[in-house]
Amino acid sequence: MSPRDTLRNPRGLVDAGLIAPEAEQRLQAVAARYAIAVPPVLADLIDRSDPNDPIARQFVPDAAELQVRPEELADPIGDAAHSPVEGIVHRYPDRVLFKVTHVCAVYCRFCFRREMVGPGKGAGLSRETHARALDYIASHPEIWEVILTGGDPLVLSPRRLRAIMRDLAAIPHVKILRVHTRAPIADPARITPELVRALKLTGKPTYVAVHVNHARELSDQARAALAQITDAGLPLLGQSVLLKGVNNTPKALEDLMRALVEAGVKPYYLHHPDLAPGTSHLRVGIKQGQSLVRSLRGRVSGLCQPTYVLDIPGGYGKVPIAPNAVRDTSEGTFLEDNRGRQHKYPAIGKSGAANAATSSRLARRRPPVPRTR
């Protein structure tokens, strides 16, 4: 398949063997509401013989997307509540999101911005809007980090991307730049030496956070694209979403985290799925998520451990929701190991008596000091 073969409608999905002919009419209603784009690299990874293929579940539309539950929100993480000017989301004091485009190389079926991205939403910010966004960043000295997002910033041309990066780097109080992207996975050919050079700045670190949810997404082409980024000295972080039928088993999650680290990507966040419209068929419960994250402890290296987070609906920010291994009771502090066993931790420092008893025990164990002549 060539780059021109990105599948953008139900007819194309039928022709590619990704949906049954009888499903085409039913999915026209989904296509009318939410953008579709399945690039060749990802289409080639889908196992047509598996009706529950985890790659297909992420990118091929499903009639279940038309079922919107009462708790689901068009803006599930509250971007609008923290958008002082168009293109900027300033939720945390020291960092902002800079939404530089509304276009993606692939449209995920669980996207929390699915009501805001895709054809017809505009390719990006106008020159005037872009200037106002930069002015906002420049006028707020507390902003230490700028995160380029969208859409996907890496769908921009190297020339456009370079201009944005340099504009941001010229603001003295902006010390860190971060780019959130799916492009190395969805369109690896886009990661050219010229584009990588556009990301690299002198004196200001750039971090690239790549979105991957299943180990099979790390194709040979994707790994080569990621290698170009790491070879240029740009650190790679991994962002994943916990999804039903994609990675919600201990084996799938373990394989994903290992594959990321092997590709030079440090797992950063594992997101609990947001309450985006029409995504209930892909969501898991918090308890199941906590159980899966607990299963990673002791199974994989610390390099493979992401922080499990949930974005509180309404714009109140991310909170870690990993299972708490510490339990305080009237009988003392207990710690839970990776097998779920409880271990009592001594109350060192809680009282002078405890310290004295410990010191006494240590003194009795201490070997005698040899006498000198």
Q: Which residues is 98 bridged to in the sheet? A: 88, 148
Quote the CA–CA distance of 182 and 225 in Å, as a whole number: 11
Active-site annotation holds for 104: yes
Look up 178 and say whether it is catalytic.
Answer: no
Q: Which of 8, 160, 175, 318 is catalytic?
A: 318
CA dist list (Å): 362 to 349, 357, 371:
15, 9, 20
Q: Which residue in the block uniquely carries the two structure tokens 């005037």? A: 128
Longest Cα–Cα distance in the chain:
98
Per annotation, catalytic residue among 269, 274, 283, 304: 274
Answer yes or no: 187 catalytic: no
Of 11, 95, 160, 258, which one is the catalytic site residue? 95
Buried residues in 324-354 as b, exposed as e (16+ CB within 10 A)? eeeeeeeeeeeebeeeeeeeeeeeeeeeeee
According to DSSP, the residues that pair with 343 across neighbouring strands are 335
121 belongs to the catalytic site: no
3-state secondary structure of 309: strand
Annotated catalytic residue: which of 109, 113, 114, 190?
113
- Catalytic residue check, 26: no
Q: Tell me, yes or no, if 274 is annotated catalytic.
A: yes
Q: Tell me, yes or no, if 318 is annotated catalytic.
A: yes
Tell me the two tokens of residue 106: 């692939």
Active site residue 304: no
The 3-state DSSP class for residue 268 equals strand
269 carries an active-site annotation: no
Annotated active-site residue in 57, 91, 99, 216:
91
Question: Residue 95 corresponds to which tokens in the numbers above?
Answer: 């960092």
- Write out the catalytic residue numbers: 91-92, 95, 104, 108, 111, 113, 274, 311, 318
